[in-house]
Chain A
Amino acid sequence: MSRGWPLWEVFVRSRRGLSHTHVGSLHAPDAEMALRNARDVYTRRQEGVSLWVVPSAEIVASDPGEREAFFDPADDKVYRHPTFYDVPEGVEHL
């Protein structure tokens, strides 16, 4: 039966103000059930205030074989890091 149920990726927002974070995947027959299943599988211990489910087949991923071309050129560009700014005290999520 599992073979007939598509895979869904689950994203949980743990509290207001934070982004949804990928937490894992699950099987479900359709979107409505996927959302319910996500509630049961991933938010049993008060982990979230909001849920997203996305069909895994709809995710477009970068190719691991092209990793170097994709990511290495950023290696020597330290000026892109915001390390030259002072972070104000008390700001948790900048």
Chain B
Amino acid sequence: MNNESIVKQFPVIEKEGLHYLDSAATCQKPNCVIDAMTNFYKEEYATVHRGIYDLSQKSTIKYNNVRRQIKDFIGAKSEKEVIFTRGATEAINLVANGFAAFISEGDEIVVTETEHHANLLPWQKIAKQKKAKLIVIPILDSGDLILDNIDKIINQNTKIIAIQHVSNVLGTIHPIETIIKKAHSIGAKVLIDACQSVSHIPINVMSLDCDFLCFSGHKCYGPTGIGVLYGKEELLNKMEPYQLGGDMIRTVTFEESTFAELPMKFEAGTPPIVEVIGLGEAINFIKKIGLEKISSIEKELLEYALKEFKKIKTLKVIGDTKNKTGVISFTLENAHPHDIGTLCDSFGVAIRAGHHCSQTTMQHYNVAATARASFACYNTKKDIDKLVEALLYIEEMFE
């Protein structure tokens, strides 16, 4: 598979005896990200946008460079369209709150059945507030969306479609291009939750023509506490700011305040400066390896894991679509996912067990929880061999 040189860049992954298979929850960090953040704190740290002194000006330049880097990485038209947030959750809440002004009674908001709670709850709230309807695109047991009725689901009443690019539970890659085209044909807008795709699949917001797209830093080898919202400039201009405070104003009096231009309008308060620097380095890391290489490593791991899983007779893969990233949800006939999680840990294998912040997905499959293994570019077949060894042990124990 030839990813030894990648593995070497991750101090946690290099540790003897750890098999980290929970990258869909959060990725481990390469040395370059850790060093960039540490060095920035040691040598270059100061506030951004307001310092008159040299250190602050340099800090501001570095900070703004990352915005440009992200603009290029996702193919946005302008840096004004790249908003830094605390994470994808904040990005979605920002859009839901700002877009609510364009939603009226009887309008429809569309999500999928496998949405992460972060892309469901904000829309559920807006739908209730505005007496709008929340419409759900259902899935097949394979995890693929049922799009036969798409003309009915996306109709004249639809105002926005908030949809994950890839399911965090099942790894299913959704045909967002089709949905975006359909949405635009009737004038609806589309938000893509790209948390589970941005570090696995190349994305270009201009060719996708999505209206909003968001992702979190920590799921793409960067730090926590930083996320990105892309939005089309004309839409962001029409939306009211989500949070008010310092850094996002033009003038303030007791009677009235006016707001800064994009992107500052949506970035109230001192931003997570060092996290932005870390995210920039994480994007560099991804670009250096290349998303094609990353995706081919993960595909090979996925295929190997699915083949090896056949050795475990009572294992059932949840959502067996062919069209997926390196995420496998599964159950064992006699062992509860939490027991699987604790016992895998005793083999040094870190997997996730639970509802993965998507209880509606659990409800579809009529399970309380699943176990989930997810891959990143630093995993090897040895990690999967250890997982299979653990699962065979657990299967026998719970026979």
- B is bound to A: no
- Seen from chain B, the residues whose Cβ lies within 8 Å of a Cβ on chain A are none
